[in-house]
Each structure stands twice: as C-alpha cells, then as structure tokens.
Structure 1
C-alpha cells in the first residue's frame, strides 16, 4: 500500500459524527442528522431545494415530469417518493406530451398534489 492510499484510509476511518446533531427516530438505530431548513438559490440542485420547487409547483397545478426536469429537478420520481414518505399525497397519471422540438412522448408522468400533512411547513422549510 502506498503512502497516499494509507493517508486516505486513515482519513476515512477517522470520521467523527456531528456533535449535537438531531437524530431521526425509527431509522433502524442509525443516526442521521436532520438538515436545518434554509433558503436556496433558484438554481440550487440540492435535494431539499428540488423538493421545495416541486411542492411549490404542484400547489399551483399538476405538472409533468418533463416540466419538473426543466425546473431543475434532475430525477423527479425520487423527489416525489421523498415527498410521499414525508406524508404528502401525490397522485400520478400518465399522459402523452409533445416537447418543444415536436417529439411525442408517451407515458410521461403527470403529478398532482392531493393532500398535505399538517406539519408541511416544518417538513419543507417554509414552502408552505
């Protein structure tokens, strides 16, 4: 093992948990820090920022996955799944869309927000 590899292994093995970090209950005993809600730039690709943008969009009207991608959400199904796990009720239907270049896309997801948990503003950090 060369010295560079040894240094990387030692550095990786010396990671310490974040002190005073809140812990999520019911996660199989594993500790996970809860992110503090913060404002993101309009171009942020952080998962929390994407969830905020999706929720704000779905509160206005249903949106297709194509529209959500154009809003900076790289993989909308993942963010929708996370929102559902937080307690949001989001329905999905499939539609056919024609994109700006004239291509027809069958089976595009159309997401509609049906209901929100009572603590939505806490979960999403001010998007409510």
Structure 2
C-alpha cells in the first residue's frame, strides 16, 4: 500500500493557493474547483506564516442554480523572506 505524506500535500496546496492569490482574489468555490478542498485551513496556515490575506463574503450561484455564501480571499502582503526567495 502506498502512503502519501500529508505534510507535503499541505505544503503543495499552500504554494498553489499563494500562486492563485497572486493572480487575483479567489473564493472558496474557485479554490475547491482547483483542488484546494479545505481553503479556510490553508488560508489560516498561510496567515500563521505571515501572509496578510483578507476575507470578504460574497454570494454566488452554482451550476445547479443554488445560492451560496462563500469567502473571497485577497492577498495583500507576503512575508519578507518569501519576497527574497523569489529574487535570489
């Protein structure tokens, strides 16, 4: 039986969330469609690492015509060490 490391999966998801938030704000629905199935947990972890991510609420209608209240995440600031990693 093959076992997958949950930690590396979490780290990969965090990197994916940052990449997506760098492009534009993302809501819970968008992130789940892109493979981030616990967006609020990933956002919480990234905030603990020093990222400033603001949450606002929006209402969306899905493909089944059902109304949902979802979080919209906007990245405002990355930690200094992350900025230096990109330029090094």
TM-score normalized by the length of structure 2: 0.81
Tell me the residue number matched to 1:57.
20
Q: How many equivalent residue pairs? A: 80
Are 2:63 and 1:96 aligned?
no
Segments of structure 1 that go 5 or more residues without pairing to the other structure are 1-34, 36-44
Across the aligned residues of Structure 1 and Structure 2, the Cα RMSD in angstroms comes to 2.1
- Find the partner of 2:81 among 108, 119, 126: 119
What's the counterpart of residue 78 of structure 1?
A: 41
* TM-score, normalised by the number of residues in structure 1: 0.57
User: Once the 2 structures are TM-superposed, how far is the Cα of residue 47 of structure 1 from its aligned partner?
Assistant: 0.5
C-alpha distance in structure 1 between counterparts of 2:83 and 2:32, whole Å = 23
Runs of 4+ in 1 over 6 A off after TM superposition: none
SS at match of 1:68: helix
Larger radius of gyration, structure 1 or 2?
1
Deviation at 1:121, TM superposition (A): 5.7
Question: What's the offset of the Cα at 1:101?
Answer: 2.2
Where 1:46 maps in the other structure, the secondary structure is helix
Helix, strand or coil at the partner of 2:41: helix
Higher relative contact order structure (alpha carbons within 8 Å, sequence separation ≥ 6)? 2
Counterpart in the other structure of 1:48: 11
Shift of 1:62: 0.4
Which one has the bigger helix percentage? 2
Q: Which structure 2 segments of 5+ residues have no match? A: 1-6
